[in-house]
Each structure stands twice: as C-alpha cells, then as structure tokens.
Amino acid sequence: MKTEILRPDSPGISGAADLLRAGQLVAFPTETVYGLGADARNDRAVARIFEAKDRPRFNPLIVHVSGMNTAQEIAVFGEAAERLAAAFWPGPLTLVLPLKSGTGISPLVSAGLDTIAIRIPAHPLAHELLAQFDGPIAAPSANPSGKISPTTADHVLSGLNGRIAAILDGGPCKVGLESTIIGFDPEPTLLRPGGLPVEAIEHCLGQPLAEPTHSKTPTAPGQLASHYAPNAAIRLNVNSANPDETLLGFGPVDCDLNLSTGGDLVEAAAKLFNALRELDAQGVKKIAVSPISDHGLGRAINDRLKRAAAPRL
Ligand code: TXA
Ligand code: MG
C-alpha cells in the first residue's frame, strides 16, 4: 500500500473523508498528537487500526466527534461531565462515559466495555474532517505500538508508511501531548494526565480529582483490568469441541459460529466482540475456540481470548 500525503486544503480533506467512508485508515492532526482515524461504526476499519499499529492488545480507543449533539447520541453525560465538556471542548480533554446502546459504534472501539472514551478535538483540520465525514472517528495516536506519539506528518510516515492509506498533513501539533483522560467512577477521576492541566479541571469542578483505583487504571495502554468478559467459560486452541461446548471457529472448520472461514485475521478481529456477545445472548455456557495463529492481529485476538478465558475472581 502506498501511503498518500494529503494537503490541508479542501480536496485533501474531502479525499480523507472519502477514504474513511471506504473503510480505510487516515492519520490526521489534532491539537494534541496525530490520530490514526477509522470509521468508528465499521468493525473491519477499526480492526485495521490494531493491525496497522501492530498492537498486541485490543485496548479501547478514543472516539472523536464534531460536536456535543453527536457526543450525547453516543454517551451518557452526568452533571460533572457536562460541565467539563462545556468548559474545555473542543480541546485536549477525553471523557470516559457510559456508552449508550444502539449507537452503531463498533464494540472494538470500546474493547467491549460499556464505557466509551470520547472527545471533540480543537484542531481546525480535525474539525473539518469530522464535519465532512459526518460521523464518529475512532483514533488512537498514529504510532506503531510501543512507540512515541507523533506530532508531525513525518513522524507518522516514519512509523506507518505503507500500512495506512493516507496522512492529512496539518504541520506540527500545538499541544504535542495526548489529551487528559477523565473517568467518572462516579467521582471525577484522573485516568491519564495530558494536554489539559489537572488544575484547570479541578478549578472548573470546584473539587479535587479522585485517584483512580488500581483495577481501573490503564497503567499501560490496554492494561485495564475491567475488560468485557462473556458469561460462558472459554477453552482455547480447541480442534474438536466437547459435546457440551459451542465451537467458535476460525478457518475452514465445522462450527456453530465462525470468526473467519477464510482464516482472515482482520475479519476475525472485527467479529470477535460481536461473536462473544452473540454467544452470551444465546445463553451458551461453554465456548471452545479454534486455534488462531499468533501473529499480527492474531496476537491481539489471542490476548483478548486469554483474558476472557482466565478464571474469574
Ligand atoms: O490526544 C489524544 O488523546 C490522542 C488523539 C489522537 O486524540 N489519542 C490517544 O489515543 O492518545 P490512545 O489510543 O493512544 O490512548 C487512548 C487511551 C488509552 O490509554 C486507553 O486505555 C484509554 O484511552 N481508554 C479508552 N477508552 C477507555 C475506556 N472506556 N475506559 C478507560 N480508558 C479508556
Ligand atoms: Mg497512544
């Protein structure tokens, strides 16, 4: 794949929006760092983010929206969240809020959690792109997993050249540091320090931010202890399921539900959370899962399944 550099003009912006509509990945500038954008409602497009970044885990992503109306269609705002949004959006602040149902947001964006990280970015190009695309854009920082967040189009290119469709070049990012992330637990809690100073947030709320309890701290990307886990018990690397198990297949196997009959890891990642929820909804008690190759997105899929298979405390 050739990574196209798009200029920050109207053909560039509409080109970027078209690529997003086609399920492609486009890096774009925000005031904090460059984001690696995908249509947040397209499972496959979101799966490609993890593939392009070579992320070994499905940690939840931030969804970017153009305005408060869209934000409120996706997430439930309490009083404190509303106050912070009114004071600091658009800007370098991300709020983790209860996810509404039926929004069409891919469960890969929230890693199957019932909360969603959401923000309205302040960068004019990000704003234009969101307006033209006319929908929510899921975007982690546009760097390969484990590398530093990019603040120029060149940084993005050096990490992701050939792995993404395009980069919308908006020059250097002003803030240069990721957004500050606040959760509501229910007390306003600092989940990640970032581009918006904690003091400004505390001043706005008129109270200090709570320290996150250990289990809810994303100590490293994707290290959240609270992950979506299905009710069913899960057994991995199974070639033939026991009679009391439902086989979640991968590749050309005879099974009840298949993540990808063709053995396509992007397709499997895109279907994973939907499949687990589907089996839960069916009331399945025991899930057996076909072996899934442990490379590329397969590592993230296996990581997620291992967590789901781990004994519950
Ligand atoms: O400035 C930024 O925030 C940039 C730009 C592109 O917006 N984005 C960014 O995304 O830094 P990312 O994926 O690199 O970091 C998102 C962080 C992760 O540490 C993730 O664990 C946390 O947000 N997060 C996302 N959803 C969450 C949720 N539902 N609960 C708790 N943490 C969440
Ligand atoms: Mg990052």
Give tens-digit pLDDT for 114-156: 999 999 999 999 999 999 999 999 999 999 988 888 989 999 9
Please give the radius of gyration of the chain, using alpha carbons only, rounded to the nearest integer: 19
Q: Does 218 score more than 60 pLDDT? A: no
Ligand 1 in reach of 267 Cβ (< 6 A) = no
pLDDT of residue 92: 95
Q: Does 49 score more than 50 pLDDT? A: yes
pLDDT of residue 105: 97
Ligand 1 in reach of 179 Cβ (< 6 A) = yes
For the chain, give the percent of residues with pLDDT over 70. 94
Residue 259 · residue 268 · CB < 8 Å: yes
Dihedral of alpha carbons 116, 33, 125, 14, sign: negative
Ligand 1 in reach of 178 Cβ (< 6 A) = yes
**Segment (H or E) for 276:** helix 265-281
Q: Does 222 score more than 50 pLDDT? A: no
Backbone angles phi, psi at 234, to 5 degrees: -125, 135
Cα–Cα distances in angstroms (integers) from residue 301 to residues 103, 135, 180, in the given order? 24, 27, 28
What residue owns the CA closest to ligand 1's atom 19?
221
What residue owns the CA closest to ligand 1's atom 12?
140
Q: Report, as an integer, the average pLDDT of 36-64.
A: 95
Instruction: Report how far ligand 1's centroid is from the alpha carbon of 255 (Å).
Output: 35
pLDDT of residue 194: 85
> Per the structure block, which two tokens stand in for 191?
């989940």
Pick from 129, 121, 90, 122: which is nearest to 8 by CA?
Answer: 129
Q: What is the mean pLDDT of the chain?
A: 91
> Whole-structure pTM over 0.85, yes or no?
yes
Q: Does 53 score more than 50 pLDDT? A: yes
Ligand 1 in reach of 38 Cβ (< 6 A) = no
Report how far residue 268's alpha carbon sits from residue 263's, in angstroms, rounded to the nearest whole number. Answer: 8
Question: Quick one: which ligand is closest to 140's CA?
Answer: 1
Which residues are registered as beta bridge partners of 257? 248
